[in-house]
Amino acid sequence: MNHLDKLEAQSVYILREAYREFKNLCMLWSIGKDSTVLLWLARKAFFGHVPIPLVHIDTHYKIPEMIAYRDRVALEWNLNMIYGENRAALDARQTFPDGNTDRIVCCRHLKSEALKRTLSGEWPRYRMDHELKRYVPDDKREPFTGVIVGVRADEEGSRSKERYFSPRDSANSWDVGDQPPEFWNQFKTDFAPGTHVRIHPLLDWTELNIWEYIERENIPIVSLYFNQGGGTRYRSLGCAPCTNPIESPSRTVREIIEELESGLLANVAERSGRAQDKEDGGLETLRRDGYM
Amino acid sequence: MSTETIDRVLSRSRMNIVIVGHVDHGKSTVIGRLLADTGSLPEGRLEAVRESCLRNSRPFEYAFLLDALKDEQAQGITIDTARCFFKTASRDYIIIDAPGHIEFLKNMISGAARAEAALLVIDAHEGIRENSKRHGHMVAMLGVRQVTVLVNKMDLVGYSEEAFEKLKAEYTAYLRQIDVEPVSFIPVSAREGDNIAERSASMPWHDGPTVLGQLDLFTTGRELHEKPFRLPVQDIYKFTGSGDDRRIVAGTIEAGTIRKSEEVLFLPSGKRSVIESIESFNTERKEAVSAGEPAGFTLSTQIYIRPGEIMVRPGDLLPEVGTRFRANIFWVGRVPMSKEKEYKLKLGTARATVRLAEIVNTLDAAELNLSQGKQQLDCRDVGECIFETTRPIAFDLASRNETTGRFVIVDNYEIAGGGIVLENLSGGETLLERHIRERERHWETGSVPTVERERVNRHRSKFIVITGPPGTGKRALSRELENMLFRNGCSTYYLGMATMEHGIDSDLRVNEKNVEERLRRLGELARIMTDAGMIFITAIDDADDYDIATLKLLNDPHEILVVTVGRNDLQNAAPDLHLEEISDIVEAIERIANLLTLREIIVDYQI
């Protein structure tokens, strides 16, 4: 087995473990390369099927190609696709693009808060109806007690401290200083009422591994990651107003791998195009509060 | 993919290294140095940390590079296991920084259990401390076979060879007591960069490798392919809803190799089948699968198996099956482990209810004293204990097959301990047998003797269990049997499982975990009903050997009669009667009634 086989095996094991142990399980799909690899790994684990609902938090400021890609794949792969949103903040224009909040507060409204309330079932969920080929209100409102997330340990400091199965209390907060032990492929799969568990099958993957795997498996990826001729491409995807492309000539997966290996990007942080990270406290502050 | 790419991908390996040791002995500094000296830090990170130190009037330390979280920088200690990635010319590394502070032992365990090799850091100036010993012991128990000891802060002892040799001798002696032989000792000063990536000019007397050199010398991969085949069954999938009729047994192969068309055996149930196909998604058709691979199989016969069984090859050295075993265990729970309480055991994919039966001895890892007579395991205790599960599980001795020979114990939703199995002690009295011995000792009989009851009833009592797959007509048969016996003057009663579920068992949620308790209640009820002289009838889905043996034991001293319908899943004891199908219910009842007459339960009957 090479290093990709080993990473795949570990992720598949974790996904199957989660599916076995959690009744109300979902998987977050941000449309980015990592969670798309995660989705592919679910098809590996369950022999072509994805028996877990996918949840996307729609800020309504995503780059339009992302949403088009999401819905195309959802229909093609027969996914149980659900989205949630912060309707109140959008209607009240409490967002950064509206000029009424800073970036961090905007993230908190449109992502953290929307995620929290969508997972808990307090706010409406919308489900892709495969007959009608559009979203309809979902009548299932039970809280999700297991949430599969595609974070990687190499992304930045706080993510390097995550466990594969990471408990959160009912307020979604993460007690970094007091995490359960995890060893020998035995994870925290028992949890007290009122808590839920975040599951991280991609923890040991690096950005390069993700692209190597996309190449090997020929996984369809949203075109924003590639230079379409203008000499720029996105390295990390988010909301249009806060995400900038990087200068890069790479037009294909192969060229991205070569670019990563060449060291041209070695000294640029992966999320350097993500403006909210640069504000005070940045990602760690957001993560403690339930951000992915 | 080009040939060149394939070569590169295949040839590059990856290794997890854990770094352990007493608090403040310099683990994070060693890693900070490794990252800085191999150019593995993102541009500007080193400068940013230096600048931040300057701004806050703190001296710069390499450890700050790692301590990414605010909590840590405030307290100056690593509170969790952080992972750092870097590569050398020969392979990729994940360095797991395990905290040395005693409060964070469980974090150190999580880090060490993922590692293939360990760096154990000891402060040359301060010498061997409690966690230098404790961590050495834990690393060995967790199965890390390659250990290198870094004697750090050599600058503080004037780079003295004598000081290094003295500490080396002392620590080697300790490790020998716990059967650990370190790969090497390296004198280093992480702060000054001596012997980390570059050879130290201050210690020309050291002729071994640098830390970086040693990392590349560690070997990867264990010879799991040649071991007996083991597949702990993680789940059985059937995605009929998505138009897929395959019934797939899924799990990750822990050891060995298996091919299509080979015969397989499931333990503890003892069921057998043959591999029909090896299933996978987006790969070429597989003819064989080996250790490490996540796999899926369809079988040539439809047998009922449960997640948690181990699939093996019947001709291999088989795993142990039992309910009682001796193990080495470390306890990290907030609450001590007690003999009075039931815990959840997780071994491979099996889950079982377990009790601590006996503490043989406990080891004080710091002083290495064995003590006996302890009544509970306290937090951070390492001990040799005897455990008992309520239901038989399959396992290996850790010495033979470590991945299926180790387990964790869950207390109050948390993993609170981990252990390795030393010996199978099954064969002695089980928890259930002890329970029944106690129950019978206290059984309060009425004033009517059994023989009197039999004389008046004109029949003997019996517990009749009818079992088989769902939808085979077991319930209809059971009810008709009750009706016929009643019309022949027997004292009889049919108990439906729905009655149990919504009555006696209404406090138990229907899930895997409560199977044993539901079985126990049914068995206890049978004991009472048969004691009352009745022919007590019930129908249950898919009973296996264990279920039948348990009911039989619980119903003791009265007798049980087992009828299988449709498919006989029992491997150990043949059923009293097997019916291929119930095409004619009258005929089926006649066969059961004949058997009851033959066994002198009833005298005669009329249908």
pLDDT in tens, B392-448: 899 999 878 878 999 999 998 889 999 889 899 987 667 788 788 888 888 888 899
Is pLDDT above 70 for B495?
Answer: yes
Beta bridge partners of B537: B464, B494
Beta bridge partners of B274: B263
Q: Which of B490, B335, B471 is nearest to B413 (CA)?
A: B335
Which range, of A37-41, B60-64, B104-108, B324-328, averages the lowest pLDDT?
Answer: B104-108
DSSP assignment of B526-574, as one string?
Answer: HHHHHHTT-EEEEEEET--HHHHHHHHHHHTTS-EEEEEESS---SSS-
Give pairs for A93-98: CB < 8 Å, separation 24+: A95/A61, A96/A241, A96/A242, A97/A61, A97/A241
**Banded model confidence at residue B8, pLDDT cuts 50, 70, 90:** very low
Query: CA of B161: how far to CAs of B204, B270, B525, in Å?
Result: 10, 61, 75
Enumerate residues 32 to 51 of chain A having a beta carbon within 8 A of any beta carbon in chain B: 43-49, 51
Of B82, B296, B415, the CB nearest to A186: B415
Q: For an interface test with B, which of A4, A8, A16, A215 has the most B Cβ atoms less than 10 Å from its Cβ?
A: A16
**What's the mean pLDDT in B17-36?**
86
Beta strands in B159-210 (DSSP E): 184-187
Placement of tokens 């993680």 in the chain: B234
pLDDT, tens digit (0-9, with 9 covering 90-100), for B522-568: 999 999 999 999 999 999 998 888 899 899 999 988 999 999 998 88
Residues B9, A212: C-beta atoms closer than 8 Å = yes
pLDDT at B294: 94
pLDDT at B577: 92
CA distance B467 to B538: 9
Give the list of residues 6+ apart from residue B267 with CB closer than 8 angstroms, or none.
Answer: B309, B310, B312, B318, B319, B321, B394
Pairing of strands B320-331, B382-395: antiparallel
Of A17, A51, A284, the CB nearest to B234: A17
More confident residue, B296 or B89: B296
**What's the mean pLDDT in A151-160?**
72
Which range, of B252-266, B335-349, B399-413, averages the lowest pLDDT?
Answer: B399-413
Q: Within an 8 Å CB–CB cutoff, is residue A157 touching chain B?
A: yes
**Amino acid of residue A92:** A
Residues A43, B344: C-beta atoms closer than 8 Å = no
* Chain B residues within an 8 Å CB radius of A191: 413
- Beta carbons within 10 angstroms of residue A48's beta carbon: 17
Residues B9, A4: C-beta atoms closer than 8 Å = yes
pLDDT, tens digit (0-9, with 9 covering 90-100), for A185-224: 888 888 887 778 899 999 989 889 999 999 999 999 999 9
More confident residue, B114 or B239: B239
**Amino acid of residue A20:** R
Beta bridge partners of B460: none
* Chain B residues within an 8 Å CB radius of A268: 42-43
pLDDT at B167: 94
Pairing of strands B146-152, B184-187: parallel
Placement of tokens 């290198």 in the chain: B148
Query: Would you call B68 helix, strand, or coil by DSSP?
Result: coil
Query: CA of B323: how far to CAs of B111, B112, B256, B320, in Å?
Result: 30, 29, 25, 10
Residues B418, A184: C-beta atoms closer than 8 Å = yes
As a 3-state breakdown, chain B gives helix, strand, coil percent values, each rounded to 5, of 30, 30, 40
CA distance B483 to B490: 10
Q: Which of B595, B597, B475 is nearest to B537 (CA)?
A: B475
What percent of chain B lies above the pLDDT cut of 90? 46
Placement of tokens 């308790």 in the chain: B517
Smallest CA–CA distance, residue B521 to chain A, in Å, is: 25
Q: Which two tokens stand for residue B256?
A: 């060995």
pLDDT at B4: 42
DSSP assignment of chain A, as one string?
Answer: --HHHHHHHHHHHHHHHHHHH-SSEEEE--SSHHHHHHHHHHHHHTTT---S-EEEE--S-B-HHHHHHHHHHHHHTT--EEEE--HHHHHTT-STTTTSS-HHHHHIIIIIIHHHHHHHTSS--EEEETTTTEEEE----PPPSEEE----TTSSGGGGG--SEEEE-TT----TTS----BTTB------TT-EEEE-TTTT--HHHHHHHHHHHT----GGGS--SSSEE-SS--BGGGB--EE----SHHHHHHHHHHTSSTTS-GGGGBGGGGSTTHHHHHHHTT--
**Amino acid of residue B146:** Q
pLDDT at A288: 61
pLDDT at B2: 40
**What's the mean pLDDT in A169-197?**
75
pLDDT at B23: 79
* Chain B residues within an 8 Å CB radius of A152: none
Is pLDDT above 80 for A172?
Answer: no
What percent of chain A lies above the pLDDT cut of 90? 49
**What's the mean pLDDT in B324-335?**
89
Residue of B nearest to A258 (CA): B5
Query: CA of B403: how far to CAs of B225, B347, B426, in Å?
Result: 13, 9, 21
Q: Within an 8 Å CB–CB cutoff, is residue A284 touching chain B?
A: yes
Contact status, residue B183 vs residue B148, Cβ threshold 8 Å? yes
Q: Within an 8 Å CB–CB cutoff, is residue A1 touching chain B?
A: yes
CATH 3.40.50.620 assigned to A3-205+280-288: yes
**Banded model confidence at residue A117, pLDDT cuts 50, 70, 90:** very high
Is pLDDT above 80 for B583?
Answer: yes
CA distance A193 to B193: 50
Q: What residue ranges define each of the domains in chain B, with the CATH number in brackets? A: 10-217 (3.40.50.300), 231-312 (2.40.30.10), 321-428 (2.40.30.10), 446-598 (3.40.50.300)
Q: Which two tokens stand for residue B592?
A: 């059961």
**Banded model confidence at residue A279, pLDDT cuts 50, 70, 90:** low
Residue of A nearest to B8 (CA): A2
* Chain A residues within an 8 Å CB radius of B112: 183
**Banded model confidence at residue B362, pLDDT cuts 50, 70, 90:** confident
Mean pLDDT of chain A: 86
Is pLDDT above 80 for B490?
Answer: yes
**Banded model confidence at residue B384, pLDDT cuts 50, 70, 90:** confident
Residues A190, B410: C-beta atoms closer than 8 Å = yes
Give the list of residues 6+ apart from residue B408 with CB closer than 8 angstroms, or none.
Answer: A183, A184, A186, B345, B346, B347, B415, B417, B418, B419
Q: Which of B63, B80, B62 is nearest to B71 (CA)?
A: B80
- Beta carbons within 10 angstroms of residue B572's beta carbon: 11
Contact status, residue B53 vs residue B60, Cβ threshold 8 Å? yes
Cβ density class B509-528: b for 16+ within 10 Å, e for less? eeeeeeebebbbbbbbbbbe
pLDDT, tens digit (0-9, with 9 covering 90-100), for B268-307: 888 889 999 999 999 989 999 999 999 999 999 888 888 9
Classify burial at B455, counting beta carbons within 10 Å of its beta carbon; exposed 0-12, middle 13-18, buried 19 or more. Answer: exposed
Give the list of residues 6+ apart from residue B234 with CB closer than 8 angstroms, or none.
Answer: A13, A16, A17, A20, B250, B251, B252, B307, B349
CB pairs under 8 A between A and B: 155
Smallest CA–CA distance, residue B115 to chain A, in Å, is: 10
Of A6, A46, A154, the CB nearest to B85: A154
Q: Which two tokens stand for residue B301?
A: 């016969």
CA distance B556 to B540: 19
pLDDT, tens digit (0-9, with 9 covering 90-100), for A22-58: 889 999 999 999 999 999 999 999 999 999 999 999 9
Q: Which two tokens stand for residue B204?
A: 């020309």
Which range, of B67-71, B156-160, B203-207, averages the lowest pLDDT?
Answer: B67-71
pLDDT at A158: 62
Q: Which two tokens stand for residue A40?
A: 């592919």
DSSP assignment of B267-331, as one string?
Answer: ETT--EEEEEEEE-SSSPPPSEEETT-EEEEEESS-----TT-EEE-TTSPPPEEEEEEEEEEEE
**Banded model confidence at residue B367, pLDDT cuts 50, 70, 90:** low
Give the list of residues 6+ apart from residue B481 with CB closer than 8 angstroms, or none.
Answer: B464, B466, B494, B537, B589, B592, B593
Q: What 3 state SS string does B421-445 have?
A: EEEECECECCHHHHHHHHHHHHCCC
* Chain B residues within an 8 Å CB radius of A41: none
- Beta carbons within 10 angstroms of residue B201's beta carbon: 8
Q: Which of A4, A57, A67, A222 is nearest to B9 (CA)?
A: A4
Residues A1, B292: C-beta atoms closer than 8 Å = yes
**What's the mean pLDDT in B100-118?**
72
Query: Would you call B86 helix, strand, or coil by DSSP?
Result: strand
Q: Which of B126, B146, B127 is nearest to B136 (CA)?
A: B146
Pairing of strands A126-129, A81-84: antiparallel
Residues A161, B69: C-beta atoms closer than 8 Å = yes
**Helix or strand holding residue B93 (H, E):** strand B91-97
Of B109, B281, B407, the CB nearest to A44: B281
- Rounded to 5 degrees, what angle do the CA atoms A153, A155, A160 make? 30
The phi-psi region of residue B39 (left if phi > 0; otherwise alpha if psi is between -120 and 50; otherwise beta) is left
Q: Within an 8 Å CB–CB cutoff, is residue A135 touching chain B?
A: no
More confident residue, B55 or A255: A255
Query: Would you call B416 helix, strand, or coil by DSSP?
Result: strand
The alpha carbon of residue B562 and the mean position of all alpha carbons in its chain are separated, in whole angstroms, by: 33
- Give residue limits of the domains in chain A: 3-205+280-288, 221-277
Contact status, residue B24 vs residue A249, Cβ threshold 8 Å? no
Q: Which of A257, A143, A243 is nearest to A211 (CA)?
A: A257
pLDDT at A156: 63
Of A9, A153, A180, the CB nearest to B294: A9
